[in-house]
Amino acid sequence: MTIRVLLADDQALLRATFRILIDSCEDMEVVGEAADGAQAVELARADRPDVALMDIRMPGTDGLAATEAICADPDLGATRVLILTTFQTDEHVARALRAGASGFLGKNVSADGLLDGIRTVASGDALLSSTATRSLIGRFLAVPEPGAEPVLPEDLAVLTAREREVTLLVADGKSDTEIAKELFVSPLTVRTHVQRAKMKLGARDRAQLVVIAYRSGLARPPG
């Protein structure tokens, strides 16, 4: 299956570079280019990409607002947003995750790292480093946004004890392989628990599972 990618960045030269790189891969293609967030939302609704590669800082509607609009659109439930930016701060990562992004990469990422990142979020996994998830991101995610729907501890009652345990380890930034080693089960078993937890909690992907874990109080920032 070919991964269909939408590029959203206000720098035309950078978009052209990404297009050449992505179109050189047999398993993916660029289906549209946007110079600002509003155009990104418009093209996402028209082209239904699998992945939107989104810059944060753009004129007019920025990448975070565009991400929120795309992720809130029920018709774009299959579109994943991968944030690509030079502003690699914990606050930006947390805001991107709250908005619905599935991953986060700095613009200094290697070509292989970018392509692997696109494949990762297209598959439904999150692109979150364990170091970032365990640090200040947790503190930002744990603070509710004004007007946001609260996630209550009792909302997690739908999870089994094992699903709660796995969700907590996911929020700690651990991979399926790391969780499997810690719980003495197979990575496939871990993935099954993650899938069931996402379905029960209405999480789009692994990144949103992390957001729910922190907002419900299941996961807490260090210290």
- CA 22 centroid distance within chain: 19
Torsion of CA 167, 118, 109, 9, to 10 degrees: -110
In order of 8, 40, 62, the CA distances from 210 in angstroms are: 25, 25, 23
Residue 56 CB coordination number (10 Å): 25
83: alpha, beta or left, given left = phi > 0 and alpha = psi -120 to 50?
beta
Q: Which of 133, 141, 155 is nearest to 202 (CA)?
A: 155
Range 118-131 average pLDDT: 78
Residue corresponding to tokens 């565009």 = 66
Distance CA 3, CA 177 (A): 25
Range 124-132 average pLDDT: 66
List where CATH 1.10.10.10 sits in the chain.
Answer: 150-216
Q: Is the sign of the CA dihedral 200, 202, 203, 205 positive or negative?
A: positive
42: tokens are: 């418009």
**pLDDT per position as a tens digit, 74-124:** 999 999 999 887 755 667 777 788 888 988 887 788 899 899 999 989 988
Range 114-138 average pLDDT: 74
Whether pLDDT at 133 is above 60: no
Range 134-152 average pLDDT: 63
The domain made up of 150-216 has a fold known as: Arc Repressor Mutant, subunit A (1.10.10)
List where CATH 3.40.50.2300 sits in the chain.
Answer: 3-127
pTM score, whole prediction: 0.75
Confidence of residue 127 (pLDDT cuts 50, 70, 90): confident
Distance CA 39, CA 204 (A): 23
CATH 3.40.50.300 fits 3-127, yes or no: no
